[in-house]
Amino acid sequence: MLHLINKDRCSRCHDERQVRYCLRTNKNLGWSCCNEQRIDRKCPSECNYCVPAIDANSIPFPAFKADSNTEFRHLVQLYVDQWIHHKNPLFDLETPAQRAASDPSFMLKWLSSYRFPLFFPLPYLAHKLHLEIQFTEPQSLSPEEVAAAYLDRVIAMEWNQLRQFTINDLDLNGVADRYATLLSELKPLLKLNRYDVISSGVSEDQNTAFVYFELNHKTPWTLILSPRNGKWMIRQNINGSPQEFYAQNKLFTELTSFLSNGDEASAWHVLERCRELFPDSADCYYYGGLHSQLIKQNDRAKVDFFNAITLDNHWASPYAHLAMLNLGSSNFQEAMYWFQKQSLLEPDDPKIVNNIAACYAGMKDMDSARRIWEQLLIDHPDFEMAQLNLDKLKNGI
């Protein structure tokens, strides 16, 4: 029987995505197959993924190289399955399983005295040794755990449960519903029924983490996370590998240059590419808003800026644009709402306060407008705009 050979699959199982070249078999393998093979410690030592030899008299577990916590856990579990049944000098040449059965309190003491590496699956080891141990829940989840919890909600189509995992935590009119809507419109997520971790990592400055997945056995997808108040939160979905994340600034710079030169067609071309790769990027919607303004479609620009706010609650620029567009179309109430929210992100900016006063003036609430401008002059004596507006008010312009 003939089978189509899928070139990106593991040469051993033909199922998982291939991720590394195996020096032992001269084939491209996925990480599960690599783990199942290297666990026998017969891999050539030149391979970075070779499980190294250890001095069994002093060290129970070797240092394992893995590209994600998921892979690390899988490898350690395979190792533990063998380790518990091998005679070990640390336990007077009994096997760990024998010692745990004959003297569980000794084994418990040994387990609690050993410094296990981060993400070591200690509950798995305890379970295999038939030891009853109460483990406290970790205080914060790893990027992979947060990303998995997020994708589990996607599979369950609980779109309104996603935002709680993201950096977007401000209480703003309509953004919670809009976030759910925008994410539910992303086709690869809409069809999601399984995900597999390919790799994960944290930047050196600890400010960015990525988790690289394969969705539905075929689509590469990356979640970008940032720490907020000691927890990892989802910042962005990338339709592709982590490399795309690092390429986005270049594309946005190109986009800015086309937009500032008024080259609408070229800007649109880059924008379409960006939207494909960075489907929930606040920047994409923000630049989309600028593009809509360029082609004089202000209503569409308002939607774009609102979407940008939805996808990054803490970025002030889209607030300013949305508010100005509303001010320009005499939607003073709406404009004031967004200026006020902007001023929470950029406190003490006299221009924003000036705009809030302008909204009051637009709504014919001259007393409030005057009060704000007078206070502005006290707080920022050099801010001429406040004096100009007060003069205008006095002269009834």
Alpha carbon of residue 347 to chain centroid: 27
Least spacing, CB of residue 32 vs Zn ion, in Å? 5
Pairing of strands 209-215, 27-29: unpaired
Residue 71 binds Zn ion (CB under 5 A): no
- Candidate segments 6-14, 81-89, 270-278, 331-339, binder of Zn ion by CB under 5 A: 6-14
Specify the residue, 31 or 64, whose C-beta has the smaller distance to Zn ion.
31
Beta carbons within 8 Å of 264's beta carbon, 6+ residues apart: 258, 291, 294, 295
b/e map of 328-353 (b: 16 or more CB within 10 Å)? eeebbebbbbbbbbbbebeeeeeebb
DSSP one-letter string for 245-259 = HHHHHHHHHHHHHHH
* Contact pick of 8, 13, 173, 328 for Zn ion (by CB under 5 A): 13
Element of type H or E holding 214:
strand 209-215
Q: Considering the rule CB under 5 A, would residue 78 count as an interface residue with Zn ion?
A: no
The SS3 of residue 236 is: strand
Distance in Å, CB of 24 to Zn ion, minimum: 14
Measured from the CB of residue 11, what is the shortest distance to Zn ion in angstroms?
8
Dihedral sign from CA coordinates of 314, 318, 322, 325 = positive
β-sheet bridge partners, residue 225? 209, 234
Do residues 209 and 143 touch, judged by C-beta distance below 8 A?
A: yes
From 14-22, 99-107, 261-269, 335-343, give the range in contact with Zn ion by CB under 5 A: 14-22
- Give 12 or 341: the residue with its C-beta nearer to Zn ion: 12
Nearer to Zn ion, 10 or 225 (CB): 10
CB of 31: closest distance to Zn ion in angstroms?
Answer: 8
Spatial distance between the Cα atoms of 182 and 58, rounded to a whole number of angstroms? 54
Nearer to Zn ion by Cβ, of 26 and 136: the residue is 26
Residue 329, C-beta contacts closer than 8 angstroms, at least 6 positions apart? 298
Binders of Zn ion in range 144-163 (CB under 5 A): none
> Judged by CB, which is closer to Zn ion: 7, or 115?
7
C-alpha 219, offset from chain centre: 17
Q: CB of residue 35 vs Zn ion: minimum separation in angstroms?
A: 9
Our finding on whether 16 is near Zn ion (CB under 5 A) is: yes
In the complex with Zn ion, the residue whose CB is nearer, 24 or 370, is: 24
Q: How far is the CB of 42 from Zn ion (least distance, A)?
A: 17
Instruction: State the binding string over 17-56 for Zn ion (x if CB under 5 A, else -).
Output: -------------x--x-----------------------
Of 25 and 297, CB closest to Zn ion: 25
Q: Which of 12, 235, 321, 341 binds Zn ion (CB under 5 A)?
A: 12
Q: Closest Cα partner for 215 from 191, 231, 234?
A: 191
> Which residue lies nearer to Zn ion by CB, 8 or 299?
8
In the DSSP assignment, the letter for residue 94 is: B
Stretch that binds Zn ion, among 16-24, 117-125, 227-235, 340-348 (CB under 5 A): 16-24
| Distance (Å, whole) CA 366 – CA 7 | 71
Kindly state the tokens that stand for 186. 């992303």
Total number of residues binding Zn ion (CB under 5 A)? 6
Residues that bind Zn ion (CB under 5 A): 10, 12-13, 16, 30, 33
